[in-house]
Chain A
């Protein structure tokens, strides 16, 4: 590196106008992407909060009913009783006293909290719902909300900072470097420079440095600004190590593209040819290879379609209903409010419904397992094939640091599934004992507490991508060192 050449290049760039156009567009894209990412996170949080608030409201209403009922019972000196399931209001114990009704008719929404960097990479979060409904009955209702047929998909989704970095940053870098050496050669200044005691390596390194500083100041600066404006949890160390990893990944990715430009320039071809070759490389690594990997992953390990799941659930339900037998039972199962009060059948029906759900759930378990396995296989395949393109490694790394990776989401789904069993168990147990819910019981409902993954787990998924980027960078950076020794400034 040569400070004189860096300063000289800086002056030339500043005077050319092209630099300002490139940096301006980059800044504009990053600013818009950060705003868009921030909005996306806000929308998700609002969605989750609305759902949770609605269900909390429903339960609060039921609780108020039980409080009124408890007061009536206390005043009249009667017994606090268990309500039949019914939809029409009337006398007698309110629905809120029935644990089965409360557990089945209101959902507990569980939400995956965003990380501090969520706004920087939307990742899979636009196709994977960040909050899931937890109900009694079967896991099906919850699983149906999980996007099961969407493997790592790099092409779709709203504009975010990750998109700008993965897709657009290489274009901006190549626009500034495709003629790094060829323009000096075509202008005739290369011979003038190299008649001085300056090595080609020093010249290239300095020219790259001047451009890299300009580009990276904008990218890192905007990344930092985005974190401060649309990021969150700035008081937590986790946010900052995630951001540090974001910077490392971005630097590695940018280095890769700068090095590719140098490598192509060292072939000694014209600026126009260099531009074409570099555009081809971009298309290959950023568009074609990631799409092929995605295609291979979904073809090799296709997830059973959501329709399969629903059809299987219906079959299981039909079978359960058949074993339930009687037409009257079926009629009552569809018209619970017509069950005569005090009829033993009403009591039996509630137990039957629970048994029914349990048998459907049991029938569906292997299917859930298959979904989970296929997603993991797809994810594993993408993880293995990511080394084919720095763009996939970068997407993988940015999703991971932003907490929008498939891995983190799967962990959340598993936590939600475990919570659903807990929820189901809590209500089913009270209901099967015909134990009426009292107002105070409402405080005892299971509560979902998201347990963040251990840092080591996150790093275990993150480091292969970062290491892969590093290795690719070292390879591409060291290749010019070899080519440079052979290059002759003046050919024949």
Chain B
């Protein structure tokens, strides 16, 4: 579903990403681990065509994202570290707008409310303007937007950073549901524990390179932490 082929991006002298090869299949939750600046966000931005590859290609469903950016975005949902919405619109209005931008005009108000219920946003909050929302509430609307898009692939850029453990746990539950529904999920994260718990595969990145790939079944929490720290030194 998601595929990087020798994907490389440089910014001037700095190589943000060097020859990345990666596949995320349906039912996979692929967690990218690594220090800040390791190339995790660049990878996600390349899949979204927010930045252009210097060489190599990123593909969604076999389609090159540079050649057909609009087509590939139909298959992608994106949850950034900080979900930013229109403060003057309510949570429900934001959701409706983004759902329609994704081509889903068919949802009734009840359907949209259903998505917000599913991500655990309180009913009374849904009709308040987003400017009053906490970060956790905005992230929930972000997840609802991703759900409403019914995309085959999800790109998550540290989506749970700054969330309390309960919200983080609820988020992981949702990811597992989506995985069960056949989504391909690529998530950049710093949370080794969640990566091991919910992820199916893990990629460790360092200075723009993918230095190791693991299956979460193969390692324990302790092993994962040890391997990760070894790479960081």
Contact = CB atoms under 8 A, between A and B. Distances in A.
Interface of A: 4-5, 8, 11-12, 15-16, 187-189, 191-199, 488-492
A197 B71 contact: yes
B55 to A, nearest CB: 16
Contact of B98 (A196, A490, A492): A196
Interface string B39-59: 001000100101110000000
Nearest to B82: A188
The 5 A-B pairs at the shortest CB distance, nearest first, are namely: A188-B84, A195-B78, A196-B101, A490-B50, A489-B50
A15 B71 CA distance: 33
Interface hub of A8, A188, A195, A492 (most chain B Cβ within 10 A) = A195
B50 A199 contact: no
Nearest to B9: A492
Interface stretch (B85-93, B168-176, B212-220): B85-93
Given A11-B89, A488-B52, A199 B70 contact: yes
A21 to B, nearest CB: 15
B150 interface: no
B80 A188 contact: yes
B73 interface: yes
Nearest to B84: A188
A199 B68 CA distance: 11
The dominant DSSP class at the A interface is helix
Contacts of B155: 195
Contact of A192 (B14, B41, B84): B84
B117 to A, nearest CB: 21
Contact of B50 (A15, A194, A196, A198): A194
B224 interface: no
Contacts of B87: 187
Nearest to B145: A192
B45 A490 contact: yes
B111 to A, nearest CB: 17
A373 to B, nearest CB: 60
A194 B149 CA distance: 14
A35 B42 CA distance: 59
A390 B155 CA distance: 46
B184 interface: no
B102 A196 contact: yes
B78 A488 contact: no
Contacts of B74: 197
Contacts of B52: 488
B182 interface: no
Contacts of A12: 86, 88-89
A488 B51 contact: yes
B73 A195 contact: yes
